[in-house]
Amino acid sequence: MSDEPKKFRIGSVPYLNAVPLTRDLGNELIFATPAKLAELLQRDELDAALVSITEVLLNDRYDILDGVAIASLGEVYSVFLAHKKPLAEVKEVFCDTASLTSVNLLKVLLAERGLQPEFKPLENYAAATEKDFVLLIGDQAIEFQRSARQSEAPVDAPHTHEIFDLGFAWTELTNLPFVYAVWALRRGIDTTELRYELKESKHSGLEQMEQIIQSREEFDVDFRRDYFEWHIHYRLADDEKRGIAKFCELLRKHNLGPVFEPKFVS
């Protein structure tokens, strides 16, 4: 009998915020957008993926690895609705096609304000500056927001959108953190070794956070420090679970289901 550790098929988003959770998982990691990861999981082509919480809540086929998440309490910076007109005038929103959870979170936040616009796919990132209402996530969202803030003269700015930060809006509404992504584990296989590997990867990544901040090439070191220290965290504890439960409640309230109760495994 071989003593070689089992090789699992693991997927992750290719964004800066995932680095502390995936840094030690090796070259076998499969990178894809949240939407693509969901497709691969549904076809059982992955054993685990760092996937949008919506994928887990709307499909009763995964377990959630306890203790690990990508979450925020307040402004997240990398998930937002950029808008040229007042929110009350929203009729259509163009959405980053990579997104899953953020679309449903925005639907909930707008519905709580009595707003139910039409949601359409964003044809490409270059078109984002032209839209009155555009939902962006991840590194593209960071680039979009920084490009406007770094322009000294507003007339020269590539866009003049205001930012409706979804993390801030959620915490303002609920006084709870919001969980964007979790490790979804495929049911029907033994994931004992896999769960250990993923938890150890988080532990190692957090220990190496200063090195990550200093060595990554995305954006600049001051931004990376601010982003990791203030905007996102990696806990999945009682408050984060209460946030997930509240999200489930509001998804059901606004008929964005069916919604399944999450199953956490450690």
Q: Model confidence over 81-105: pLDDT tens digits?
A: 999 999 999 999 999 988 889 999 9
247 and 160 in a common domain: no
CA 101 – CA 82 distance, rounded (Å): 17
Q: Is 139 exposed, middle or buried (0-12, 13-18, 19+ CB in 10 A)?
A: middle
Q: Is 4 exposed, middle or buried (0-12, 13-18, 19+ CB in 10 A)?
A: exposed
180 and 169 in a common domain: no
Kindly state whether residue 137 falls inside one of the protein's structural domains: yes
Owning domain of residue 255: 10-71+176-265
Taking 50 as the pLDDT cut, the residues of the chain under it are 1-2, 151-157
Kindly state whether residue 1 falls inside one of the protein's structural domains: no
Kindly state whether residue 3 falls inside one of the protein's structural domains: no
Kindly state whether residue 4 falls inside one of the protein's structural domains: no
- Choosing from 131, 147, 174, the residue where a domain stops is 174
Kindly state whether residue 2 falls inside one of the protein's structural domains: no
146 and 89 in a common domain: yes
What was the pLDDT predicted at 155? 39
Sole residue written with tokens 């998804």: 251
Reported as a single tens digit per residue, the pLDDT across 219-260 is: 999 999 999 999 999 999 999 999 999 999 999 999 998 999
Q: Which residues is 230 bridged to in the sheet?
A: none
Strands 10-12 and 92-95: unpaired
Cα pseudo-dihedral 125, 129, 132, 138, rounded to 10: 50
What was the pLDDT predicted at 154? 42
Number of domains in the chain: 2
Kindly state whether residue 64 falls inside one of the protein's structural domains: yes
- Choosing from 144, 174, 204, the residue where a domain stops is 174
Q: In the chain, what's the furthest Cα-to-Cα distance?
A: 69
What was the pLDDT predicted at 14? 87
Q: Residue 255 sits in a domain of what CATH number? A: 3.40.190.10
- Count of Cβ atoms closer than 10 Å to residue 197 Cβ: 18
What are the backbone angles phi and psi of residue 160, rounded to the nearest 5°? Answer: -125, 30
CA 229 – CA 251 distance, rounded (Å): 30
184 and 170 in a common domain: no
- Choosing from 174, 201, 224, the residue where a domain stops is 174
CA 72 – CA 4 distance, rounded (Å): 38
Structure tokens given for 98: 């990579």
What was the pLDDT predicted at 173? 98
